[in-house]
Amino acid sequence: MKLGDFFGMDLSARVFQVDHYADLLGVRGALADNPQVLAYQADMTRHGSAALYLFKRLLILRMLQVLLTGPMLSFDSHYDAKKLAAGSSRDRRYGAEEKLLAYALIVATGKSENQLKAEQFHPTVRALREWPQASRFKHLERLLIDSNPALVEAHAELFRSVGHSRHAVWLRRLRHWLLGG
C-alpha cells in the first residue's frame, strides 16, 4: 500500500461499514483470508460479530501503521481553497495525506466521515497531522480501543480463547488502557 493510493479516495459513505472501507483499499480479501479472522468467524456463535468487527478495524489500522508513522507535510490552511485538478506533486501528496488521515480516523472510530463531521469529532484530521509522527498510530489505536470498551473486553476474551499468545503484549496494553492504570 502506498500513500498515492489515498489520493482522491471517496470517503463520503453515509454510515461506517468495515467491509466497504476495506474494499476502498483493496484489502477485503486479505482480511477474509487472515487466519485470526477465520478463527474468529469459526467462534462467532459464542462471541458474536462485534468482536470480529473490531478485529477487522484493528487489522486495517495496523496495515496503515507504516504510512501513519512516516513524515507528513505541515498543515496548509490554503489547501482546500486551491481546488486544483491535478496540482503539483506536493499538492497531490498533501491530498493523499489528508485522505490517509481521514481514512485512519474513520477506521479507528468506526464512524463515517459524515458522522464525524456531524458530531464535530475531535481529534480532527488537522490535529492528527500535527501529532508527532512516532505517536500518530498509537493515538489512533487508542481511539479505537477507547471508543469500544465493551467490544475490547470481548476482543481480549476471544484472543485468549483461540490461543493467540503472540498478542499477549497487546492484551496487556488493552487491559492497562481499560483499567486506566
pLDDT at 74 over 90: no
User: pTM for the full model?
Assistant: 0.76
Contacts of 159 (CB under 8 A, 6+ apart): 167, 170, 171
Domain locations in the chain? 3-179
Q: What angle do CA 178, 100, 59 make, to 5 degrees?
A: 45
Look at residue 112 and give its three-state secondary structure: coil
One-letter amino acid of 16: F
pLDDT at 72 over 60: yes
- Interval 84-102: pLDDT, tens: 555 788 888 888 999 999 9
pLDDT at 7 over 60: yes
Q: What is the 8-class DSSP label of residue 155?
A: H
Arithmetic mean of pLDDT, 15-23: 87
Q: How many whole angstroms separate alpha carbon 88 and alpha carbon 93? A: 9
Which secondary-structure segment (H or E) carries 68?
helix 65-68
Q: How many whole angstroms separate alpha carbon 101 and alpha carbon 58? A: 15
